C-alpha cells in the first residue's frame, strides 16, 4: 500500500433483539451492506458524534416482506412504500460506543416513534401481524426532515432467503449495529 494513500474498509454486524421488561433477548444477527455514501458518513461519524443519529426499521403487515435496494445513495423517501401494508419506524439512536475500531449504535422501537410512523401514513404496528424485515442506519442532518442519508442497510434474511421478526405483545424490537473500520488497499 502506498504510504500517501489510506483506504478505509468497513464491515458490520446487526443484532436484532426482543426487548421486554428491561431484558434484551437476541434473536438473530445479520451482516450489513454498506452504502456508497458510507465513507463520507464514517468520516463525519468519527468527527461528530451526532451525525449518525437514527435507525429505520422496515415492516410489513402483508404475508411476506420484499427486498430492499442496498446499493447506491438512498434516502428515507426511497424507503417509503406506496403499498399500504408496508412502512418504517424512524428510531433515534439511544446509545453509541467506540471500542478501538468498532463503532456500535443501539436503537429500540418506542411508542412515540411508532405513533409518528403511523401519523405519517405508515400502517399500524400490530402484535402478531407486523413483520420487521430490514433496517437502515442513517445520518439525519435535520432531525425534522425525512431526507436522511442512508449509511448502511441490513436485510433480515436466513440461508433460505427469508426471515423476519414478528412484533409480539408488550415487547419492542432492539437493534445493536456494529461497524468495524479498518485500513486496507
**Strand duo 86-92 + 52-60: pairing:** antiparallel
Query: Is pLDDT larger for residue 143 or for residue 129?
Result: 129
Question: Structural domain boundaries of the chain?
Answer: 7-184
Q: What is the pLDDT of residue 155?
A: 81
Mean pLDDT of the region 17-30: 88
The pTM for the full model equals 0.77
| Residue 43 pLDDT exceeds 70 | no
Radius of gyration of the chain (CA): 16
DSSP state of 146: S
Residue pair 92/54 in contact by the 8 Å Cβ criterion: yes
pLDDT interval class at 1 (50, 70, 90): very low
High-pLDDT (> 70) share of the chain, %: 64
Q: Count Cβ atoms within 10 A of the Cβ of residue 52 and give its class: 0-12 exposed, 13-18 middle, 19 or more buried.
A: buried
**Is 40 in a helix, a strand, or coil?**
helix
Mean pLDDT (the chain) is 74
| Residue 19 pLDDT exceeds 70 | yes
Neighbour tally for 122: CB within 10 Å: 21
**76-121 pLDDT tens trace:** 555 555 566 788 888 888 888 888 778 888 889 887 788 888 777 7
**Is 79 in a helix, a strand, or coil?**
helix
Query: Is pLDDT larger for residue 147 or for residue 8?
Result: 147
Amino acid at each position: 500500500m502506498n504510504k500517501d494513500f489510506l483506504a478505509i474498509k468497513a464491515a458490520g454486524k446487526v443484532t436484532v433483539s426482543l426487548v421486554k421488561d428491561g431484558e434484551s433477548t437476541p434473536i438473530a444477527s445479520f451482516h450489513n451492506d454498506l452504502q456508497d455514501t458510507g465513507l463520507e458518513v464514517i468520516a463525519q461519524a468519527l468527527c461528530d458524534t451526532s451525525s449518525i443519529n437514527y435507525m429505520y426499521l422496515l415492516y410489513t403487515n402483508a404475508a411476506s416482506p420484499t427486498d430492499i435496494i442496498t446499493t447506491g445513495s438512498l434516502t428515507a423517501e426511497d424507503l417509503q412504500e406506496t403499498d399500504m401494508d408496508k412502512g418504517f419506524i424512524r428510531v433515534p439512536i439511544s446509545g453509541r460506543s467506540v471500542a478501538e475500531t468498532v463503532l456500535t449504535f443501539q436503537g429500540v422501537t418506542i411508542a412515540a416513534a411508532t405513533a409518528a410512523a403511523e401519523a405519517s401514513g405508515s400502517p399500524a404496528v400490530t402484535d402478531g401481524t407486523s413483520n420487521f424485515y430490514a433496517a437502515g442506519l442513517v445520518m439525519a442532518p435535520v432531525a425534522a426532515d425525512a431526507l436522511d442519508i442512508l449509511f448502511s442497510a441490513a436485510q433480515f434474511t436466513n440461508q433460505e432467503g427469508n426471515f423476519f421478526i414478528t412484533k409480539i405483545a408488550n415487547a419492542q424490537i432492539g437493534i445493536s449495529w456494529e461497524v468495524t473500520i479498518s485500513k486496507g488497499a
